Each structure stands twice: as structure tokens, then as C-alpha cells.
């Protein structure tokens, strides 16, 4: 083939591969939010009714983009419906309502089981024996662009936005944590000073939750957050969105750190009882 013709074809292919997804996104965002999706939000995303108008509009734009870009797969016999897709997308997008940086650009696949799923994990005992231990899970976030969820837990969490437990917020907080390349409880922040103050606030609160957990004392945070700093960030995120008043009152510095990270203050949203 003529090398000039080859070059022209290659450049055209590159231009199309960049242009077509942008065009599809622009079209999807310009389309009205479907009435059926609106009904799903009304029914399943209790908090969406309490958002101020600009955030409510933003949520709908983010959901449209999320559903265009992410692939959903049912597992364990589950058939993926619009209700499942819209509910998960809306919950996930609550975390990025006011954040720059796109709609989870590293995420491609969402796998949904009907209920708690069992995975087999390698676990080393003290003698170094590797065991394949089965665990029942409600959700899992992978760094290779995958989130796995149990639909019954998703629905319970989305219909009750005040109990501090929400598997979608939890797993998608792990996705945000992974944006800087490591899942360690410190997501991508603005600069070195931000990391220093983040580390100071989070390590103190993490140590306190570990003490409470060891001593069997109650905490505003789920004791699962004492597992490691990454779990603490995910659990603190659930608490920040679902119990903002208590968190601001009793864990003011941590609340302020998360408010500046997520760029929203969930206390401003009218709280309704479940
Ligand atoms: Zn977790």
C-alpha cells in the first residue's frame, strides 16, 4: 500500500476512535433523563429527593454518563435490569456529585449477584499453609476496573440512607482510593500538605476505631473500618454521607477532611427518616 495512503487511513482511524466516543457521550448527555429512570430514582434513591436542584441535575448527568460507559453483568442467575443499573449508577455517582476527574475513568465492569456471593481466597495460617477459605461478601472493588456487588444489599443500602451502611458508597470509595495507584486510605489529593494533614487526621481516627474495636466499645463507625486504613476510608465515607450530623459533631476534623475531598456537605440535604 502507498505509505501516504496508509498514513492517512491510520490518522483517520485514530481521529474516529477519539471522536466517536465523544460524540456518543455528547448525545447521551443531551438526551432527556428517561421517565422510567426518574421513577427508579424516586423509588430507590431516597436521598435523591433531598438534593438541592444543581446537585440533583448533576446526578442525572452523571448517571447518564455512567450507564453509557460501564458494562453491567449479572452473575449467579441474576438478570440485569434498568432498575439495577440506574440504582447502582446513582449511588456510585453520589460520591462524585461535585468532584472533578470524570466518572470513575478506571472502572469498566460491574458484576452483580442476587445476594451475598462466596469467593475463595488464599489465606496463610501461622504455619504458612495456604488455604482456600470461602467468604460471603456483599461487595468487592478490584483495581483492574471491576466492582462486584450483591443486589439485595445495594437495594437495602440505597433505600436507607441514614443508617451509615451502604455497600455501593463503600466499594466506590475504594475505587476513588485506587485513583492514585494504591488502595491505602489516601485518595488522590491536591498536594503534599494535603497528604500530611489527611494522614494526621485519618491515622488518629483509625487508631481510635481500632482501640474501640479491641475493647468492644461502640463507635459511630462500623468496626469493620478498623481492618486497615483502606477499609477505614470506605467506612468513613459511608458515615460521612449517611450520618453527617453525628460525624461533624463527634469527629469534626475527619468530617472537614471528607467535606473538602468530596466537596459536598450532606448536612445541607434535608434528612428524611427511612
Ligand atoms: Zn472494603
Q: From the CA of 1, how far away is ligand 1's center (Å)?
A: 54
Distance of CA 230 from the midpoint of ligand 1 (Å): 7
Rounded CA-CA distance 22/12 in Å is 15
What percentage of the chain reaches a pLDDT higher than 90? 65
- Ligand 1 geometric centre to CA of 140 (Å): 7
Cβ burial of 1 (10 Å; 0-12, 13-18, 19+) is exposed
pLDDT, position 129: 53
- Residue 139 alpha carbon to ligand 1 centre in Å: 8
User: Quick one: pLDDT at residue 191?
Assistant: 79
Q: Does 248 or 101 have the greater pLDDT score? A: 248
Q: What is the mean pLDDT of residues 108-134?
A: 69
Helical H runs in the chain?
3-30, 35-44, 53-69, 82-93, 151-159, 167-177, 192-214, 229-242, 244-250, 252-262
Which pLDDT value is given to residue 174? 93
Q: Residue 219 in contact with residue 203, Cβ under 8 Å?
A: no
Beta carbons within 10 angstroms of residue 2's beta carbon: 8
Name residues with Cβ closer than 5 Å to ligand 1, which is an ion: 231, 234
> Phi and psi dihedrals of 260, rounded to 5?
-75, -30
Distance 173 CA to ligand 1 centre (A): 8
Measured CA to CA, the distance from residue 170 to residue 175 in angstroms comes to: 9
What's the pTM value of the predicted model, to 2 decimals? Answer: 0.87
Whether residue 254 contacts residue 225, with contact meaning beta carbons closer than 8 Å, is answered with no
**pLDDT score at 135:** 57
- Partners of 83 in beta bridges: none
Amino acid at each position: 500500500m502507498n505509505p501516504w495512503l496508509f498514513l492517512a487511513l491510520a490518522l483517520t482511524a485514530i481521529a474516529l476512535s477519539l471522536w466517536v466516543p465523544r460524540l456518543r457521550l455528547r448525545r447521551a448527555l443531551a438526551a432527556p433523563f428517561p421517565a422510567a429512570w426518574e421513577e427508579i430514582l424516586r423509588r430507590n434513591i431516597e436521598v435523591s429527593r433531598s438534593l438541592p436542584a444543581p446537585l440533583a441535575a448533576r446526578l442525572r448527568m452523571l448517571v447518564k454518563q455512567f450507564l453509557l460507559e460501564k458494562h453491567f453483568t449479572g452473575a449467579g442467575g441474576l438478570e440485569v435490569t434498568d432498575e439495577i443499573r440506574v440504582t447502582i449508577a446513582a449511588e456510585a455517582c453520589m460520591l462524585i456529585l461535585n468532584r472533578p476527574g470524570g466518572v470513575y475513568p478506571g472502572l469498566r465492569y460491574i458484576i452483580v449477584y442476587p445476594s451475598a456471593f462466596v469467593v475463595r481466597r488464599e489465606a496463610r495460617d501461622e504455619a504458612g499453609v495456604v488455604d482456600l477459605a470461602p467468604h460471603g461478601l456483599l461487595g468487592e472493588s478490584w483495581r483492574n476496573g471491576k466492582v462486584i456487588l450483591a443486589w439485595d444489599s445495594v437495594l437495602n443500602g440505597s433505600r436507607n440512607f441514614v443508617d451509615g451502611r451502604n455497600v455501593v458508597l463503600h466499594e466506590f470509595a475504594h475505587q476513588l482510593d485506587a485513583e492514585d495507584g494504591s488502595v491505602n486510605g489516601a485518595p488522590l489529593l491536591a498536594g503534599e500538605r494535603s497528604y500530611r494533614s489527611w494522614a494526621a487526621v485519618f491515622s488518629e481516627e483509625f487508631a481510635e476505631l481500632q482501640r474501640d474495636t479491641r475493647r468492644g466499645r461502640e463507635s459511630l463507625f462500623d468496626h469493620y473500618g478498623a481492618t486497615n486504613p483502606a477499609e477505614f476510608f470506605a467506612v468513613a465515607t459511608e458515615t460521612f454521607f449517611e450520618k453527617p450530623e453525628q460525624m461533624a459533631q463527634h469527629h469534626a476534623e475527619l468530617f472537614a477532611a471528607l467535606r473538602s475531598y468530596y466537596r459536598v456537605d450532606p448536612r445541607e440535604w434535608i434528612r428524611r427518616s427511612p
